[in-house]
Amino acid sequence: MTEQDEQLRMLSEINESFKKISDVLTNYSLMILEDGWFFDYSIPIDSNFQDIAKYDKVIFNLFMEKHFEDTIDKIEELTIKRFPKREKIIRKAIMCHKNGDYEVSIPVLIGQADGIFREMTSKEFYSKKSNIKAENIIEEIKNDRFKEFSLWILEPLKQNQLISANFKKSKDNPDFLHRNLILHGEDCEYATKRNGAKSLSLLNYIVKVVYDLYISTDMTEMRDFVLENSENKYGL
């Protein structure tokens, strides 16, 4: 076998390994989305936690709620750093959340997440229109060789039936934070601590994860995330 053949073999193995990891993480990010949570770099991805996410919903949801409650200050500061014109609104919304005024904080955070996504991408996070739907950004960046292995992280953008569910369809996913029902005044029971944490999860996903993949040229956090997790952690 020539040196070139050996390099091609190694490259093929690396690509296959990335594909396996990507497939596992795609399923994982969509699994947690079913409970209304969006992926964050710092949540566990090992096979044990994946089992908890799948089979022990009580523990899983308690963990996710605590995770986003514990990182609320970081979410606030990153949002303001990257989108400073929204500082006044974000600080007031976060303050309302901390005070337990979820009736106010949740609609504001959902609305700001929507506006930030549109500001970044010129697409609509909740839209079903083919020309402006959120998942279109995947097509824009999929040919970037450095980012293509991270596209699994944008899979939630394809799940428009969850994100933009109407009143009737939302009953199929009662644990999801349904934007339309809240902002159009159909859901009057949304104001809970857990839903507040889910609105933080959404904001964090757009401000940190989508921003890093779509806007930023600094992929340090994504790189560290990949390097710190071996194949064994993915349950492969």
Closest CA to 40 of 193, 174, 156: 156
Asked if residue 188 belongs to a domain, the reply is yes
Model pLDDT, residue 215: 85
- Calculate mean pLDDT across residues 30-51: 85
Model pLDDT, residue 69: 96
Q: Which residue has the higher pLDDT, 43 or 79?
A: 79
Q: Which residue has the higher pLDDT, 22 or 162?
A: 22
Cα distance between residue 69 and residue 198, in whole Å: 10
C-beta atoms surrounding 158 within 10 Å: 14
Would you say residue 55 has pLDDT above 70? yes
Q: Which residue has the higher pLDDT, 186 or 61?
A: 61
Range of the domain at 180: 10-234
162-171 contacts: CB < 8 A, separation 24 or more?
A: 162/33, 162/34, 163/125, 163/126, 163/134, 164/126, 164/127, 164/128
Averaged pLDDT score across all residues of the chain: 81
Cα distance between residue 118 and residue 120, in whole Å: 5
Range scoring the smallest mean pLDDT among 50-54, 65-69, 216-220? 216-220
Model pLDDT, residue 217: 66
Asked if residue 25 belongs to a domain, the reply is yes
Asked if residue 3 belongs to a domain, the reply is no
- Calculate mean pLDDT across residues 171-198: 77
Quickly state the pLDDT bin for 5 (edges 50, 70, 90). Answer: low
Model pLDDT, residue 89: 97
Number of domains in the chain: 1
Question: What is the pTM (predicted TM-score) of this model?
Answer: 0.82
User: What residue ranges in the chain does DSSP mark as E strands?
Assistant: none
